[in-house]
Amino acid sequence: MSNSFLSQEEIDALLKQTQEGEKKSEDALATELTDREKDALGEIGNISMGSAATALSQLINQKVTITTPKVIVTTLEELLASFEVPYVVVEVQFTEGIQGSNLLIIKVSDAAVIADLMMGGDGKIEREELSDLELSALGEAMNQMIGSAATSMSSMLHNSIKITPPNVTQVSLDEDAYQPYLDKEAQVAVVYFKMVVGDLVNSEIMQVIPIDIAKKEAEMLLSLSFLEQDKDEPAEAVYSSSPNQPLPEPTGGPGDKDTAEAGTRNIDLILDVPLQISVVLGKTKKQIKEVLNLTSGSIVELEKLADEPVDILVNGTLIAQGEVVVVNENFGVKITNIIDPVERINNLRRREL
């Protein structure tokens, strides 16, 4: 009769196999994103890149829309191999709140349009390579965009997020000349955004996030969602499974009380997201040579009469008009006219078209 008991060596071998299997499972989970985590990244992208679009719009005096995030997981090497060179990589280092690097990737042709607009041009150019001056102009645009995005992330995640000035690199046919901070073989989350700049650009911009940072961002948002909900409130009422799904609106009818409360809680999550309020005294257009000739004491004539009301914009949308006043030796604006709600909605719709 054979011995049915396992030897110590066989037991040790089985335990080792089990531990190795568990480790592989943990490693696999660490390099994947759940649907819920992807949705959270999309939500963060919606808010932060929306602020970035507003900042860029004000810089280049063009309507800018960055929307419709889509999240995938791949490696940086596979992602870069799928591109047609040349392209532009914007590297950003997080120094507080989140540690690590992010990349933004944009086509050179799109980057050239933005750089030309930054330099006072009309953006109607086609370029396969950027000059040093154009790269500098693009770097300033990216610095303003990403700074605005980081501010929105800070408020949304209730955590101070700080970054370094971005490093802009033009990647040409010589791929060996580009060495990113990120490990090319490591798993990354790629968030694709649709980017529209006036009638000049209709393309994509990509945000590349190391998988560990992506999970950290998603965890921060999801933990806030759970803290905001009541004990008996289902998670679905607080966090939408689709980043673009509109918030529920209270109707006031019978049986709509729960929906109204859920909508209020959803709105509460973004009440402290900063909005940029601008007061437009007037506008004018100048050529670069005219701007360079400005000196102390120069007068810039605006295309608005002195007694006309100033425009008050929130994130680039006109909401009111007013007059300039002085309060305790500080300039202020007294609101004299609130734009009709219907007209405000129409203004918002026109910005989305």
Count of Cβ atoms closer than 10 Å to residue 173 Cβ? 7
Q: Mean pLDDT of residues grouped by 10 in the chain (353 residues)?
A: 58 65 46 84 87 88 86 85 80 85 89 90 85 88 88 84 86 60 80 91 90 89 64 36 38 45 52 77 85 86 81 81 83 84 61 52
Read off the DSSP letter of residue 236. G
Q: Please tell me the distance from the alpha carbon of residue 208 to that of residue 210, in angstroms, as a whole number.
A: 7
Helices 132-157 & 108-118, crossing angle to 10 degrees?
90
Per the DSSP assignment, residues forming a β-bridge with 278 are 313
Residue 110 dihedral angles phi and psi, to the nearest 5°: -70, -40
SS3 (DSSP) at 316: coil
Q: Are 47 and 273 in contact (CB under 8 A)?
A: yes
Please report the pLDDT score of residue 247 as a whole number: 37
Q: Are 194 and 67 in contact (CB under 8 A)?
A: yes
Best CA proximity match to 182, nearest among 204, 147, 208, 215:
208
343: amino acid identity, one letter: E
CATH number of 29-219: 3.40.1550.10
Q: Are 76 and 210 in contact (CB under 8 A)?
A: no
CA–centroid distance for 325 within its chain: 35
Please report the pLDDT score of residue 93 as a whole number: 87
Best CA proximity match to 65, nearest among 248, 315, 271:
315
The model scores a pTM over 0.85: no
Q: Which residues contact 226 (CB under 8 A, 6 or more apart)?
A: 235, 238
Please report the pLDDT score of residue 69 as a whole number: 83
What's the sign of the alpha-carbon dihedral 13, 14, 19, 21? Answer: positive
Superfamily (CATH H level) for 277-352? SpoA-like (2.30.330.10)
Domain boundaries, the chain: 29-219, 277-352
